[in-house]
């Protein structure tokens, strides 16, 4: 493996909407020598997102777009990403659905993390549905983003046991811990040979 000295790391944008624990985790990972990514931008659709604090803390540029005029906003974001020479996008708790056109512009270069064992439980409220269905296992998945929701090629998954007394909250917490392991691992798996 070639040494990653910062100059050959992938220029990455992280898209968030909320707490940003995955963002924080990816930032910490990106600072390691072995990391194949360098985080250049945080894109967010929510002014109140707690995760925005990591922009100041780690001195990473942030941009907020509300996606009210989706196509217009997406086009502005695309220009902004290109201007910043972004090579990779990691969605991390980003609650908007990107258009086909947007995805086409970054074909094979957008990753997402989803809190279920895809292809099961695509979409929202995964933990509620998992518990309602008395599933014995749930988990998380890192996958490529394609034009259909939560359906792109799977990169890594981690299984988590669902206990009888689990609530959506306790399950979310357990799964989030695993998310923090598999997102960096997925990046290493994909790009370790850069
Ligand atoms: C994570 O569970 C992620 O899988 C889902 O939204 C949650 C975001 O958490 N898409 P955070 O904002 O990274 O803390």
Q: Please write the tens of the pLDDT for every residue from 156-167.
A: 999 999 999 999
Give distance in angstroms: CA of 192 to centre of ligand 1.
24
The C-alpha atoms of residue 39 and residue 86 are separated, in whole angstroms, by 9
Give me the percent of the chain exceeding a pLDDT of 70. Answer: 95
Give distance in angstroms: CA of 176 to centre of ligand 1.
7
The C-alpha atoms of residue 98 and residue 74 are separated, in whole angstroms, by 8
How much is the average pLDDT of 174-183? 98
**Would you say residue 14 has pLDDT above 50?**
yes
Token pair 């998310």 in the structure block, residue? 179
Give distance in angstroms: CA of 127 to centre of ligand 1.
12
Higher pLDDT, 103 or 194: 103
**Would you say residue 5 has pLDDT above 60?**
no
CB distance 115 to 179 below 8 Å: yes
**Would you say residue 60 has pLDDT above 80?**
yes
Quick one: which atom of ligand 1 is closest to the CA of 49?
12
DSSP H/E element including 132: helix 126-132
Q: Which residues are catalytic?
A: 114
Average pLDDT, the chain: 95
Q: What is the pLDDT of residues 96-140, one digit of tens each?
A: 999 999 999 999 999 999 999 999 999 999 999 999 999 999 999
Quick one: which atom of ligand 1 is closest to the CA of 17?
12
Q: How confident is the model at residue 1 (pLDDT cuts 50, 70, 90)?
A: very low
Q: Is the CB of 176 under 6 A from ligand 1?
A: yes
**pTM for this one?**
0.95
The C-alpha atoms of residue 153 and residue 155 are separated, in whole angstroms, by 6
How much is the average pLDDT of 66-82? 94
**Would you say residue 174 has pLDDT above 50?**
yes
Question: Which pLDDT does position 67 carry in this prediction?
Answer: 87
Q: Is the CB of 184 under 6 A from ligand 1?
A: no
**Would you say residue 194 has pLDDT above 80?**
no
Give distance in angstroms: CA of 193 to centre of ligand 1.
28
**Would you say residue 6 has pLDDT above 70?**
no
Q: Quote helix, strand, coil % in the chain, to nearest 5.
A: 35, 25, 40
Quick one: which atom of ligand 1 is closest to the CA of 112?
10
């Amino acid at each position: 493996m070639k040494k990653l000295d910062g100059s050959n790391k992938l220029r990455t944008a992280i898209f968030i909407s909320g707490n940003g624990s995955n963002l924080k985790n990816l930032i910490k990972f990106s600072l390691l020598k072995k990391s194949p990514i360098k985080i250049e931008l945080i894109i967010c659709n929510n002014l109140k997102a707690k995760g925005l604090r990591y922009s100041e803390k780690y001195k990473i540029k942030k941009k907020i777009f509300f996606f009210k005029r989706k196509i217009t906003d997406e086009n502005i974001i695309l220009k902004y990403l290109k201007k910043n020479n972004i090579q990779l996008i990691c969605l991390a708790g980003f609650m908007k659905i990107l258009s086909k056109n947007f995805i086409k512009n970054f074909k094979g270069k957008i990753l997402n993390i989803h809190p279920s064992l895809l292809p099961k439980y695509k979409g929202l409220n995964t933990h509620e549905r998992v518990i309602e269905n008395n599933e014995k296992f749930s988990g998380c998945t890192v996958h490529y983003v394609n034009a259909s929701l939560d359906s792109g090629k799977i990169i890594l998954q981690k299984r988590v046991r669902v206990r009888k007394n689990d609530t959506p909250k306790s399950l979310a917490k357990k799964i989030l811990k695993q998310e923090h392991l598999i997102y960096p691992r997925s990046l290493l798996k994909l790009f370790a040979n850069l």
